[in-house]
Structures are given as C-alpha cells and as structure tokens.
C-alpha cells in the first residue's frame, strides 16, 4: 500500500496528465477507500495544487499558478533527469553556458559538474550551489545579480536583465511552464519572462527543456514564439497540432527516452 505522500504524488501526476480525476477511478487505481481519497484531495487543495469538484478534482484554473519549488522538484523527476542528461550532452568542454532557473535545468547542472573549462552563467541559486561541488579548476560559475525570488530559488527583475546584457554565450537552456502552438513558450509571471527573453538575446543557441506535461499549456506571460528556440529536449513526442507547428518553426526535437 502507498503512503499518503506517494498517493498524493500519484494523484497530482494523474490530474496534470489528464486535466481531471474522479474519486471512483482513484480508489480503484490506488487500492484505498473513497474517504481516504477525499482526504488526499482535501490536503492537495489546501496546498493549492488542485481544485476539488463534485466527485473528483481538476487542475487549478489560473494561468498564474505554479506549484511550490519542492513540489515541482518531486514531480516527474525521472523524466526531468533524462531530459537534463540529454540536454547536457550537447555541451562541449570550454563552452560558455547560460542556465535558467528551474527543476529541469537543475538536472542539467548536475550533469555538468565534471566538464572541463566550462563557464556557467546562471540565475538559479540551486544550480550555482550544486555546481560549487565540481572539481577544482573545472568550472567557472557566474551568478546573475537581481532580486531573489524564494518561490523560484532564483534571481529575477530589472537588475538581472541588465546584468545579462554584458554576455554572449554559446547556448542557453531554458525551462518553461507551457508550450502551445499559438502562444509559443510561456511562464507564469512577467519577471521570469523578461529574464528569459534577455537570456535568449545573448545566446547563439536556444535550447528549451520541458517534459510533456507542458504541451498544450498556455501560461500567463509570453517568452517567444516556437521559432524563438532552435532545440526542444523533452520526454515524449508532442501531439498534433503542436508537432506540426514545431516542424514549421524549424525546431529540432530531442527525445530523452529511457
């Protein structure tokens, strides 16, 4: 039998993949009683991770919503690890790399620690801390200045965008909240969108890293159209019409399979 935290994580995965869940299907899938499932849904609703409905639950109905960092860190972790490894394989020794903040880009940082002669510029406090453990002399780490956003564990704001104007890098790795044919790449807040646009402006190659739960999602703030990036690293092929739009945009698709 699953522990409460494991059940709740499974419930969140299902509602994110399917958009909604029912108490009946969850009791059958997880092998527990309906009152137990309702208690789990109540706990998740109190944490603003879903919204309860009659007989089940749906995703929170807002383009501004993003789960807490710790929750995002646990969600789809295996997929993110594969995406991070596949994205990191594009990096060569002695390159300059710009690393966005996020739980998927953090997986890239974990894969870059043994590289030689890299310069990594990042606004991710988590990534900077992780990269500090690299062998002496392997990496140069530059942390982007700005206002610290605890929810994102990152630096953002006008100071961060001004800081980025000084750089020209080989490639940037960006995380997003949504990828949609018409909306392009989107995130939940304007500060993050501004910094990501500044990152794109100073990079020779733009690589989006996002798991398949982001497909078809339009968050609040636009970063750029699909054509604004050269590469997408993800875990599953996108559905139509998104795949058609990606092909039209000339986007290189890399699937991080098991």
**Does residue 244 sit in the same domain as residue 185?**
yes
Which domain range does residue 25 map to? 4-61
Spell out the long-range contacts of 61-65 with Cβ–Cβ below 8 A and sequence spacing 24 or more: 63/186, 63/188, 63/218, 63/219, 63/220, 64/188, 64/189, 64/219, 64/220, 65/188
Helix 23-30 / helix 4-18 crossing angle, nearest 10 deg? 130
**Does residue 17 sit in the same domain as residue 132?**
no
* Per-residue pLDDT at 60 exceeds 90: no
CA distance 59 to 17: 10
Among residues 13, 33, 61, which one ends one of the domains? 61
* Per-residue pLDDT at 52 exceeds 90: no
CA distance 79 to 234: 8
**Does residue 90 sit in the same domain as residue 199?**
yes
The predicted pLDDT at position 115 comes to 92
Phi and psi angles of residue 234, each rounded to the nearest 5 degrees, phi first? -145, -175
Among residues 61, 80, 105, which one ends one of the domains? 61
Peptide bond into 159 cis (omega under 30): no
**Does residue 221 sit in the same domain as residue 114?**
yes
pLDDT digits (tens, 9 = 90+) for 193-205: 999 999 999 999 9
Banded pLDDT at 220 (limits 50, 70, 90): confident
pLDDT digits (tens, 9 = 90+) for 151-165: 889 999 999 999 999
**Does residue 47 sit in the same domain as residue 162?**
no
Among residues 41, 61, 81, which one ends one of the domains? 61
**Does residue 54 sit in the same domain as residue 163?**
no
Structural domains of the chain, count: 2
* Per-residue pLDDT at 74 exceeds 80: no
The predicted pLDDT at position 64 comes to 55
pLDDT digits (tens, 9 = 90+) for 92-108: 999 999 999 999 999 99
């Amino acid at each position: 039998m699953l522990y409460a935290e494991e059940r709740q994580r499974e419930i969140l995965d299902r509602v994110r993949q399917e958009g909604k869940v029912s108490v009946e299907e969850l009791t059958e899938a997880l092998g527990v009683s309906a009152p137990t499932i309702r208690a789990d849904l109540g706990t998740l609703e109190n944490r603003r991770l879903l919204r309860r409905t009659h007989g089940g639950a749906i995703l929170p109905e807002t383009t501004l919503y993003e789960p807490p960092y710790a929750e995002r860190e646990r969600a789809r972790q295996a997929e993110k690890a594969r995406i991070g490894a596949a994205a990191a394989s594009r990096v060569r020794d002695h390159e300059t790399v710009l690393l966005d903040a996020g739980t998927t880009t953090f997986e890239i940082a974990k894969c870059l620690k043994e590289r030689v002669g890299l310069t990594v510029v990042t606004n991710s406090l988590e990534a900077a801390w992780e990269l500090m453990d690299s062998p002496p002399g392997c990496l140069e780490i530059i942390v982007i200045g700005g206002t610290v956003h605890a929810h994102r564990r990152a630096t953002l704001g006008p100071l961060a965008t001004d800081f980025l104007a000084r750089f020209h890098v080989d490639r940037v790795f960006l995380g997003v909240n949504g990828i949609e044919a018409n909306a392009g790449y989107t995130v939940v807040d304007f500060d993050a969108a501004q910094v990501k646009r500044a990152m794109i402006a100073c990079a020779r190659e733009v690589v989006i890293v996002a798991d398949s739960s982001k497909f078809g999602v339009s968050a609040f703030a636009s970063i750029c159209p699909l054509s604004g990036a050269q590469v997408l690293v993800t875990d599953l092929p996108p559905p139509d019409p998104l795949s058609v739009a990606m092909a039209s945009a000339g986007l290189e698709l890399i699937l991080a399979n098991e």
